[in-house]
């Protein structure tokens, strides 16, 4: 599932490629990915509109058009946004034909992602429902300490809760916990302030490292030009259960007990406590 580094990669690609582009027409092939506006309304509201900029919020890509319209695309498991020459593809759900003859496509094999058109007020309400961005320089260790230590849920669960912290998913929650030496299943309330500060530092580090190599691809994720991300080779724990811990050599273990998602950790309490 695309998380912060993956959606950040797509958003940066599209911001560079789409600023100033004009939408000539909109074609919806799979309306079940739409939320709010239906196919006709979407086409009417986006046709002849100009893209002002593209950015990321949490795990979503936000495409801002003139007149205050925002197209919010949340790719989830198999969705991606692609820019380039028009192509026929059975899994393309939405096409925005541009005046310069390029095409922006939303492709989603399992159609679990969503495409939502919001006005400025609705967008602000949606954004306000999400937690702070982990890479925001204004996010302090004190605030993160309050978020983590104020809950008795598992640390990994808190990190993945988009209302508490936006953009972090299973891959990077696993990685950040291992890097900080914190067990993912530990209760947030059990952490010290120093552990919270270290966890924030490691989370930011792993997110930036992944963005630098354009995200993690195991199977489905592609950037806006169809290329794979390169961070899978740098993962320390996620997907490596049964392998030696890179820090202490103990055999990494895995469970689905936290949020029903795969959690991988080192069982040596001197390594990950």
**Known active-site residue 261:** yes
Catalytic residue among 2, 5, 134, 184: 2
User: Among 126, 113, 212, which Cα is nearest to 162's?
Assistant: 126
CA dihedral (228, 231, 237, 242) positive or negative: positive
Tokens 């691809």: give the residue. Answer: 217
Question: Are the C-beta atoms of residues 212 and 8 closer than 8 Å to each other?
Answer: no
| Alpha-carbon span 243 to 236, nearest angstrom | 10
236 is catalytic: no
- Euclidean distance between CA atoms 11 and 54, whole angstroms: 6
Residues 90-111 as b/e (b if ≥16 CB within 10 A, e otherwise) read ebbbbbbbbeeebbbbbbbeeb
Q: Identify the active-site residue in 59, 69, 95, 105.
A: 59
Catalytic residue among 57, 70, 107, 261: 261
CA atoms within 13 A on the CB side of 205: 14
**What does the block give as tokens for 195?**
């552990």
Cα–Cα dist 197/270, whole Å: 19
Measure the CA–CA gap between 54 and 62, rounded to whole angstroms. Answer: 6
State residue 130 phi and psi, 5-degree precision. Answer: -100, 160
In the structure encoding, which two tokens stand for residue 41, read together? Answer: 């309304």
Residue 199 · residue 158 · CB < 8 Å? no
Active site residue 156: no
Catalytic residue list contains 52: no
Query: What distance in Å separates the CA atoms of residue 1 and residue 167, rounded to the nearest whole number?
Result: 11
So which residues are the catalytic ones?
2-3, 59, 261
């Amino acid at each position: 599932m695309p998380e912060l580094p993956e959606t950040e990669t797509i958003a940066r690609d599209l911001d560079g490629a789409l600023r100033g582009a004009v939408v000539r027409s909109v074609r919806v092939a799979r309306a079940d990915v739409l939320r709010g506006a239906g196919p006709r309304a979407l086409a009417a509201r986006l046709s002849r509109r100009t893209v002002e900029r593209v950015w990321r919020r949490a795990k979503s890509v936000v495409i801002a058009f003139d007149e205050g319209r925002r197209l919010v695309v949340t790719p989830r498991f198999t969705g991606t946004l692609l820019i380039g020459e028009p192509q026929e593809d059975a899994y393309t759900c939405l096409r925005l034909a541009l005046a310069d003859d390029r095409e922006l496509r939303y492709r989603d094999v399992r159609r679990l992602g969503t495409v939502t058109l919001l006005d400025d007020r609705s967008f602000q309400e949606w954004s306000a429902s999400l937690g702070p961005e982990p890479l925001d320089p204004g996010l302090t260790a004190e605030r993160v300490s309050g978020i983590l230590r104020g809950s008795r849920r598992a640390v990994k669960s808190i990190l993945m809760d988009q209302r508490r912290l936006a953009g972090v998913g299973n891959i990077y929650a696993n990685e950040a916990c291992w890097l900080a030496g914190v067990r993912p299943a530990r209760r947030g309330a059990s952490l010290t302030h120093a552990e919270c500060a270290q966890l924030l530092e490691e989370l930011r580090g792993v997110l930036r490292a992944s963005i630098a190599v354009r995200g993690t691809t195991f199977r489905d994720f592609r950037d806006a030009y169809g290329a794979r991300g390169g961070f899978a080779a740098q993962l320390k724990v996620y997907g490596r259960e049964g392998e030696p811990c890179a820090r202490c050599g103990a055999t990494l273990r895995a469970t689905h007990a936290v949020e029903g998602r795969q959690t991988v950790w080192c069982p040596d309490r001197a390594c990950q406590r």
